[in-house]
Structure 1
Amino acid sequence: MTSEQTTTFDLSASFKAYDVRGIVGESITADIVEAVGAAFVDVLQLEGQTIVVGGDMRPSSPEFTKAFANGAATRGANVELLDLISTDELYFACGFLNRAGATFTASHNPAEYNGIKMAKAGAVPISSETGLKDIQALSEQYLNSGSIPAAGSRGLISVRDVLKDYSEYLRKLVDLSSSRPLKVVVDAGNGMAGLTTPAVLGDALLPKLPFDIVPLYFELDGSFPNHPANPLEPENLRDLQAAVIEHGADIGLAFDGDADRCFVIDEKGEPVSPSAITGMVARREIARAKAQGEEKPAIIHNLLTSRAVAELVEHDGGRAVRTRVGHSFIKAVMATEGAVFGGEHSAHFYFRDFWNADTGMLAAMHVLAALGEQDGPLSDLAREYEPYVSSGEINSEVEDKPAAVERVRQAFADEDLTIDNLDGSTFTANDGSYWFNLRPSNTEPFLRLNAEATDRATMERVRDRVLALVRA
């Protein structure tokens, strides 16, 4: 860091509720990252301990990784550089090695962005309530003073590769060796799944599985030359859907940029909803936990997943726990409930055996196992888990969001329904025919609608009625 500073640093633009994200060269620079590395060690009291630091394929990640490591070593922590890693590889390293750590990624954000995801030892998440605000304040202090004071003794910086350990660990959790042969198209979106897929599902590091992997965009390239690495947007799935049809594949998998989310396409090129994946994995995890003597294994689902998830969990002898949207809530409830698995409508999937953290790869392995242990196509298998019709998430730009929700409340006042306010407002018909949720965005002038019904006509009628009221 330079000793002459003429700027007063305010990092509030890049420090979010759960991570750091900003535009490279503007709100996130090597000097800022070095200060964050130092503050990370101080706030978590890691002097004399070893931390792990890695990054994704974005062009700025190597420089930022070294800067963070330098700041951390200045404050007396030893640093193991993990080089190129997916976000779930960071969680693995923090859990498996019981060390705090950080990775540089901006997930599915455009190429000009980068950011930092941090975790405590055991992959315990760090949020604004659990240290992130303190790290921000101390980073600003270091930047504004112009220097980072050296600790009693400088930490050592070394290199460690965890990809093989990560791959072996996942393979132990889901045995895929006895699957029927499957043709699997994987769209890595030029993100980190281009590295982790050959290691876990292929034979780059471990014995070959009965899968024929067809790679799409496995070249690591943080400029995302083919399409944005955000499979939540339907247009970013088109290449995968076309490739599944072209190759006559059994299944398609799409990962986001840092490979912590996974989306699934069936053999007809149709998306399988994250709610169906949640149900499919929940069924497997409940059965496994019960086989190990657990009486009513808990499954976490956010309130936007299909009603089918909770019904399936209860049917299979598990205990369904409904939460707000957001990974920090899910991880906290996973820990307090001792839950075996958790799923979100956004394709984040959390596992007790993975330190309550989310991993797209482990979810993909469960789906491959479920498909490979029976003879039918994925479309038939998925249909069992998708008995209801969903609207998907629909955004409406609304300036006065509370007034829009109130219009809906009044219009539905005569309906036989229940309203709860766990996260936004959820309206549930007491005869079970439909439910819908209205959630205001915290960062944009959007009101988000999710609706589900027993049939398409009911879903469309409810959806259109609510949208007309919201947008009036």
Structure 2
Amino acid sequence: MTNLTCFKAYDIRGKLGTELNEEIAYKIGRAYGQLYQPKTIVVGCDVRLTSEALKQATIKGLNDAGVNVLDLGMTGTEEVYFGAFHLDVQGGIEITASHNPMDYNGMKLVHENARPIGADSGLKDIQALAESGEFKEVSVKGKTEKYNLLPEFIDHLITYIDPAKIRPLKLVVNAGNGAAGHVIDAIGDKFKILNVPVEFIKIHHEADGTFPNGIPNPILVENRDSTRNAILEHQADMGIAWDGDFDRCFLFDEKGQFIEGYYIVGLLAQAFLLKQAGEKIVHDPRLVWNTFDIVEQYKGEAIQSKSGHSFIKEKMREHNAVYGGEMSAHHYFRDFAYCDSGMIPWLLAISVLSETQKPLSSLVEEMIAKFPCSGEINFKVADTQATIQKIFDHYADQNPAIDKTDGVSLDFGAWRVNVRASNTEPLLRLNIETRADRNPKPMQVYVDELTQLIQGS
């Protein structure tokens, strides 16, 4: 029995060669096929140099388990999700390592109707079978055919806006040399047919698995300059940047300012609740006060979930929530089979810009002023759980309200902190927010205090 360390809480991620290779990919495909016995599934891959080979190995495993495969080619994760609920198939697999370093790759797996496969919903079973290698021979092997899903995907995306109401806009779009470029090109072609007056300024647009401009991960401060500079140079109305498999999108206002994903959750919750008061909005526990405020203001119901796509989707299905948002820039939609999309958020944003006739900066500045936040700060520590306990113990005598939905959240009334271990990387993640109306200390005071506590461990 081989111990496979690439299986994580809600997907598969591993270092190439040791934790993930073509042999392991084959076993994962074979195990998926044997366990679930779908007739047909969709499979796609991102632009990483190893993704195509890992995809072919996964497909061979699926075929050897008797499963037919529709090979979608180079795709973002949400294209696989879309195929899994839109087509007559029983599941999907995307080969991607998203924003992980160059020497990593991974997979995201779903059931029929794009239901997630996570640690609590089948991933451990796939791991156990892949590790044991106890595969059964099938009488009829599966077949593979290529399938172009893009036209149907674009048609679906356009349903989230009213093309006739979009005002003239200039958008900087930064695919980060990942998988998003081909979808932007197709949307651009569709906009021309529909006479939607949107101009795209494309940077780092071509898919390139060597990532000449760095791993596409706009949540890193050092990765934001190119988008901001292009916005200012072209006097654009908004900037959009994606990670490698474009299931996360990041927005910049017309001043080139990066907008924390936390406030985009509030913006999109507001957009849905304006149309459908009383709807449920699912959110993660890292930063919450602005979401509570918006949802209460627009007469919705806020529901907290553990961070991570499989947990958010499960909670959304349970409560039939119209929208779910994570501050990490994952946004989930009921009409998208509760899956996350990096394309729907910016389409909704240009719809709001058009309807309100307001610049993006003014739409979020009130939220930012009311509930300042630190943004997510990551620390490499020797023992994440011991560090979390140290923080917990340090503040115990201040009697904060405690929530352990995901890591530890401590609420002191005027300020709040969430600290949690990453599910995908050896990192401790810190988020702090304050209430401006209670005149707390400057944010940096809390950041410095927690930083010293964490690094002193």
Instruction: Tell me the TM-score normalized by structure 1.
Output: 0.89
Q: Distance in 2 between matches of 1:317 and 1:199?
A: 37
Query: Contact 2:286/2:409 (CA < 8 Å) preserved in 1?
Result: no
Task: Supply the AA of the counterpart residue of 2:172.
Answer: V
Partner of 2:236: 249
Partner of 1:129: 120
The 1:400/1:172 distance shift into structure 2, 3 A limit, reads closer
- The structure that has the greater radius of gyration is 1
Q: Distance in 1 between matches of 2:390 and 2:13?
A: 36
The 1:75/1:446 distance shift into structure 2, 3 A limit, reads closer
The 1:250/1:191 distance shift into structure 2, 3 A limit, reads same
Gaps of 5+ in 2: none
Correspondences of 1:259-274 after superposition (within 5 Å): 259-274=246-261
Shift in Å, 1:255: 0.3
1:57 aligns to 2:44 (yes or no): no
Shift in Å, 1:445: 6.5
Task: Supply the AA of the counterpart residue of 2:224.
Answer: L
Partner of 1:161: 148
1:138 aligns to 2:129 (yes or no): yes
- Match for 1:189 among 166, 176, 197? 176
The 1:215/1:402 distance shift into structure 2, 3 A limit, reads closer
Of residues 21-30 and 326-335 in structure 1, the stretch that sits farther from structure 2 once superposed is: 21-30
Of residues 171-180 and 219-228 in structure 1, the stretch that sits farther from structure 2 once superposed is: 171-180
Shift in Å, 1:411: 5.1
Partner of 1:341: 323
Partner of 1:454: 435
Partner of 2:206: 219
Query: Contact 1:325/1:344 (CA < 8 Å) preserved in 2?
Result: yes
CA displacement, residues 212-231 of structure 1 (integer Å, 9 cap, x when unaligned): 00111111111101121111
The 1:464/1:65 distance shift into structure 2, 3 A limit, reads closer
Shift in Å, 1:298: 0.4
- Match for 1:104 among 95, 105, 124? 95
Task: Supply the AA of the counterpart residue of 2:41.
Answer: I
Shift in Å, 1:446: 4.7
Q: Distance in 2 between matches of 1:252 and 1:321?
A: 30
Of residues 298-307 and 233-242 in structure 1, the stretch that sits farther from structure 2 once superposed is: 298-307
The 1:417/1:38 distance shift into structure 2, 3 A limit, reads closer
Instruction: Tell me the TM-score normalized by structure 2.
Output: 0.92
The 1:61/1:444 distance shift into structure 2, 3 A limit, reads closer
1:368 aligns to 2:350 (yes or no): yes
1:66 aligns to 2:53 (yes or no): no
Task: Supply the AA of the counterpart residue of 1:464.
Answer: D
The 1:415/1:222 distance shift into structure 2, 3 A limit, reads same
Query: Contact 2:8/2:423 (CA < 8 Å) preserved in 1?
Result: no
Shift in Å, 1:204: 8.2
Q: CA RMSD in A?
A: 2.3
Of residues 112-121 and 408-417 in structure 1, the stretch that sits farther from structure 2 once superposed is: 408-417
Query: Contact 2:37/2:66 (CA < 8 Å) preserved in 1?
Result: no
Q: Which secondary structure state, in structure 2, belongs to the residue aligned with residue 36 of structure 1?
A: helix
Equivalent pairs, count: 451
Shift in Å, 1:79: 1.3
CA displacement, residues 184-210 of structure 1 (integer Å, 9 cap, x when unaligned): 000000111111112235548964522
Partner of 1:171: 158
The 1:26/1:445 distance shift into structure 2, 3 A limit, reads closer
Identity of aligned residues (%): 37
Partner of 1:115: 106
- Match for 1:198 among 181, 185, 209? 185
CA displacement, residues 216-253 of structure 1 (integer Å, 9 cap, x when unaligned): 11111111011211111011111111111011101000
Shift in Å, 1:393: 2.1
